[in-house]
A and B are shown apart, each in its own frame.
Chain A
Amino acid sequence: MTRAPERSRPAPPTPSPAQAVGRPLDRVDGPAKTAGLARYTADHHVPDLAHAALVHATVARGRITGLDTADAEAVGGVLAVLTHHNAPRMTPPAPVSALDLSTLAPGTTVDYLNTDRVHWNGQPVAVVVADSPDTARQAARLVRVTYEVEPAVTDFAAAQDDAVPLRGTLLVLGEERTGDAERALATAPVVVDHRYTTPAQSHHAMEPHATVAVWNGDRLTVHEGSQDVDWARRHLARRFGVPLAGVRVLSPHVGGGFGGKAPVWAGTVLTVLAARATGRAVRMVLSREDVIRTVGGRTPTVQRVALGAQRDGTLTALLHTGVSQVGRVGGTPEPVGSQSRHLYAAPHIWIRHSTTTLDVLPTAHMRAPGEAVGTFALESAVDELAVALGMDPVELRMRNEPDRDPLDGKRFSRRDLRAAYARGAERFGWAERTPSPRSMRDGHWLVGRGVATAFHLPVRLPADVTVRLRADGTVLVRCAFHEIGVGAATAQTQVAADALGVPVEAVTVEHGDTELPVGPQAGGSGQTASVATALLEACEELKRSVLALARRSPSSPLRGRRLSELRAGRGGLYRADAPDRGETYGVILTRAGRAEIEVRTAAGTRLGRTLQQARAAAGWFRDRRRWVRAVTGAHFCEVRVDEHTGEVRVSRWLGVFDVGRVVNPKTATSQLRGGIVMGIGAALSEETLVDPRTGRTVNPGLAEYHVPVQADLPRIEVDYLDEPDPTTPLGLLGVGEVGITGVAAAVANAVHHATGVRVRDLPVTLDRLL
């Protein structure tokens, strides 16, 4: 569906009371969390627990020539100071392979504490283990390290000339083009062509990274705030050379991830190493500084967007190139042109990504890698084009809304950005905006309104689940997916309740434990849809098994019926044509003498898993050839800029999203709001400041790295089209990341409208507006 007529706001589809999906249910883990009963990693108390702290390198590149640990070892309560001299040897990380995504787990090739080489300023070079966290930290400060310093490249701005274009692979977006964008630009009647920059950003999830490691012979139990327990398990088994089956990773509650807890960073590996070396259970909770120095964050980018258009606003050319940085020992490039492949119907498109390699902490994924910063450049440029054309920015976007994918003509699985803009414009009162900059004010506040498009491509990953139905009518769903605060367990509770026709209260979901069937990563906005797909399959299978039991009994009203003739509801199976004819699961199971019945999706065995992965991969590629499956949205914002001081206040926000079916409007709204808040941070304050001479991050804490506080935020309205995607089970797509995309551009566009000043370099700070 690409072209919906404008219409007034339809009433949100009211789910029938019997239906759980679509209802704004409270989180199932809400009571435990508000009562402080939910145990996060650092809450795990293990007998005889020791504590670890990191020592960071203070040079960007070189070799450790001296390590004086005597003072640290002399501190009472210190158990060990581990360095490359005495740390147990580990197997180096495996080379990255598209066939085994868990090889992406380490994020870097550095062999922590098994090498004297230093690759970035902040790399861990020693670990202190002690009886208390304070002692460990204090002793860590007493470790003296000397280095033979080697020349290092640490200044992104200076290293841009050395950027190398990326070749596309399964995992990396390289160059894509259609037509001849440069020629089309040269002949376009109206052209905007600008350079945009975004700064490095650090991960700042509410819960800092934490690990508790307990060895028992070659068996290892790890409590870990993780977005991918399977990656963690596989990576640790390899590094420590122990059987996979003996490694268990538990992560039932995670205090935010945003991509920062998908890889297995130094803190995790070194906690396990410290436990191995000391024979004690060890816990390490990273400080904010540790997180910033050892957990890869978002790369800085420099981007060029050039748009060519006819005078009526029809785009003829779109060029988007970007440079991002990687570390010499690892890093993920930021595919800033991702959304530019799909958003506008330009006949000539050229997307190119380059990277430059620095002696810095490997860059890694952070919420909507690519689109989060790519939309800043693209959606700013579109706004600049609207200004150049004297055209309304919403109208300009609608004029160039494609029917099919502009790069290769594929269909969109669903896309109704027009409806999102139409609804948003009406709700926000967009028509009241006077177009010229500095034309709206309130006292000394210059008022500006801006829009920008949100865009994200949610992924789909394999998942394995078991569903157990008990004779008492309760249901247990088990899958090692991750509850990183998004309401994942709540969503699957709703999906299972509907699929089996039981009340949500009857369903329990277990997650975040490698003893459970393997789940997907909490990443790429794909977890909910991926698990739901497997869960629906399992529920079908389960109902089939229950029906088979029922049909054995001559007295069953379901005798002789096929599943397709039945509906699940009221805790059992009932005939669609005669809803009062049927029976509860309890009756069926009890009569059959079964206390419970359990099914598992096909991947239960190793072979099953390989087959399932192959099937999922094949399905994914087939789908990618057939569809562009994207989620979109329209951001509307209002800012107030103090005419004389340049202070920016975001005063209103509305985001209208087209994200397919919404399982739970309450938790989904929180996701989207959270994304918008994070985007406002990126727009106005967040920036990892690196000393270009030393490569050292100079604001490694929340006092100097400013995320938005409550007083920086307006009430954020979130609305949905809430129409199912026709190509996915239940019509789900994914909501985790799309919220942040487009936000910085919407702010910058509103700031331009307020002040007439175009800021092309984030963040938009006070002095840039004077």
Chain B
Amino acid sequence: MEFLQPATWEEALEARAASRDAVPIAGGTDVMVGINFGRLRPALLLDLTRVPELQQWGTDDGAVRLGAGVPYARVITELGDRLPGLAMAARTIGSPQIRNRGTVGGNLATASPAGDAHPALLAAGAEVEVASVRGTRRIPVADFYRGVKRSALADDELVAAVRIPPRTGPQQYSKIGTRNAMVIAVAAFGLALHPDRRAVGTGIGSAAPTPRRAPAAEEFLAGELDGLWESRAELPPATAARFGELVAGAAAPIDDVRGTARYRVHALSVMARRTLTWAWADYRKGDPACA
């Protein structure tokens, strides 16, 4: 097995272009599991941890540009205020060791329907910035997922960053597992309220072949909130319940060892209703970002 350690982004992209079956490795928390269990035997490992650009985040054009190699632990400590949804999702991932190594870029490239970053990125309306020697393109995260563990990433491309609009309202993340930590989600849900554009963002995890939004639920809720954004009045429980149903309706889950399809649909409706109730309560209290 060869091991390449590019020191610059250009080198990394060139190496990627030169050997398309190279396997990039960031935190290694997916790659090493694959290697240890014999599912992966790459001829070439492309280590991205020495590329400085990938380890940084900054603001650009109003969005947080999060380098693909920033570990979850830093998302939590450094970006909890701007990206609360993603930070909440990050807190549910693995254990401290995994959060020290694992990255959002790795989660995206793995594109598992159960990846915890996805619902938060979907709800926030993020864009994935991918690059190759051919150039850079931005893909709305909802278009990035193409199937079970398949993404829009071409075989000469790397994930450079993910661009996430900072919160303008409350965000929530909810995950159900078969135990309390170190667990793959049975079902997960991310919610972001966007008072600035009078919009609602959603993300469903572990309940369809890919992470996905619940567009009907988003539209319904945006309609119901029309007028309430200003009055900050109480949300009728029936609205939250209906929102839950619509979110559940967007799922297409299967039965597996972690849970039944029926359970997942039900759990999504509960998580959607709850996260909305929490988020709206925060908003009514004058959620600082929109005060």
Contact = CB atoms under 8 A, between A and B. Distances in A.
Interface of A: 141, 644-647, 649, 684-685, 689, 698-699, 701, 703-704, 706, 708-712, 765-767, 770
Given A699-B257, A766-B259, A645 B183 contact: no
Contact of B179 (A644, A685, A689, A767): A685
Contacts of A647: 176
Nearest to A684: B179
Interface string B78-109: 00000000000000000000000000000000
B178 A685 contact: yes
Contacts of A767: 259-260, 262-263
B179 A766 contact: no
Interface string B241-273: 000000000000000010110110011001100
Contacts of A141: 38
B185 to A, nearest CB: 12
Nearest to A770: B266
Contacts of B186: 766
Contacts of B178: 685, 706, 765-766
A684 B180 CA distance: 11
Interface string B265-286: 0110011001000000000000
A644 B270 contact: yes
Contacts of A644: 270, 274
Given A141-B38, A645-B176, A770-B263, A706 B257 contact: no
A529 B184 CA distance: 43
B37 to A, nearest CB: 8
A697 to B, nearest CB: 12
B181 interface: yes
A704 B176 contact: no
Contacts of A646: 263
Contacts of B7: none
Nearest to A289: B37
A125 to B, nearest CB: 17
A709 B181 contact: yes
Contacts of B257: 689, 698-699, 704
A705 B108 CA distance: 26
Interface string B180-201: 1111101000000000000000
Nearest to B266: A770
Contacts of B270: 644-645
Contacts of A706: 178-179, 183
Given A685-B179, A710-B181, A767-B262, 18 more contacts: A644-B270, A645-B176, A645-B270, A645-B271, A649-B180, A701-B37, A703-B33, A704-B257, A706-B178, A706-B179, A711-B179, A712-B181, A765-B178, A766-B176, A766-B186, A767-B259, A767-B260, A770-B263
Nearest to A642: B270
Nearest to A643: B270
A712 to B, nearest CB: 5
B181 A766 contact: no
Interface string B212-229: 000000000000000000
| Most interface-central of B180, B184, B186, B257 (chain A CB within 10 A) | B180
Nearest to B33: A703
A644 B183 CA distance: 20
A710 B179 CA distance: 10
Contacts of B38: 141
Interface residues of B, number: 22
19 contacts: A644-B274, A645-B270, A684-B179, A685-B178, A685-B179, A689-B257, A701-B37, A703-B33, A703-B184, A706-B179, A706-B183, A708-B179, A709-B179, A709-B180, A711-B179, A711-B181, A766-B176, A767-B260, A770-B266
Nearest to A647: B176
A454 B33 CA distance: 40
Contacts of B184: 703
A703 B112 CA distance: 16
Contacts of A710: 181
5 smallest beta-carbon distances between A and B, as pairs: A711-B180, A767-B263, A711-B181, A644-B270, A709-B181
A405 B181 CA distance: 44
Contact of A645 (B180, B262, B267): B267
B188 to A, nearest CB: 12
A647 B176 CA distance: 8
Nearest to B257: A689
Nearest to A713: B180
A133 to B, nearest CB: 12
B2 to A, nearest CB: 16
Interface in B29-43: 33, 37-38
Contacts of B274: 644
A204 to B, nearest CB: 14
B80 to A, nearest CB: 20
B116 to A, nearest CB: 15
A436 B178 CA distance: 27
Contacts of B260: 767
A712 B180 contact: yes
Nearest to B264: A767
Contacts of A704: 257
| Most interface-central of A645, A689, A698, A765 (chain B CB within 10 A) | A645
Contacts of A685: 178-179
Contacts of B179: 684-685, 706, 708-709, 711-712
A676 B261 CA distance: 32
A349 to B, nearest CB: 38
A241 B160 CA distance: 63
A710 B180 CA distance: 8
B104 to A, nearest CB: 21
Contacts of A698: 257
A645 B259 CA distance: 12
Contacts of A711: 179-181
Nearest to A700: B37
Contacts of B266: 770
Contacts of A703: 33, 184
A651 to B, nearest CB: 12
Contacts of B33: 703
| Most interface-central of B181, B182, B184, B186 (chain A CB within 10 A) | B182
A704 B260 CA distance: 16
A709 B176 contact: no
A767 B258 CA distance: 10
A711 B186 CA distance: 17
Nearest to B273: A644
Contacts of B180: 649, 709, 711-712
Contacts of A684: 179
Contacts of B181: 709-712
A620 to B, nearest CB: 41
